[in-house]
Amino acid sequence: MPKLKRKNKSSSTRSSAIYDREFHFLTDNKRTLQLIITAFLALSALLVAHIVNQQEELDLYKEARAVTR
């Protein structure tokens, strides 16, 4: 009885598996990049709010000094 040979995976199947791994890698990087950008934007918004608040306090201080003179 002849031995049955195993079929090798076709090159397209191997390419597809490699592409899937690459795609998941890129997807993970995209999510990470989105999180980093979101965090950066949130911190930037906090910084702007802090600067605006400091400016308002400075204006109030100047106004109070002008009144007391």
pLDDT of residue 53: 97
pLDDT digits (tens, 9 = 90+) for 13-45: 666 766 666 666 666 788 889 999 999 999 999
Task: Write down the pTM of the prediction.
Answer: 0.54
**Gap between the Cα atoms of 40 and 51, Å rounded:** 16
Predicted confidence (pLDDT) at residue 10 exceeds the cutoff of 60: no
**Gap between the Cα atoms of 58 and 56, Å rounded:** 5
Buried b (16+ CB within 10 A) or exposed e, 29-62: eeeeeeeeeeeeeeeeeeeeeeeeeeeeeeeeee
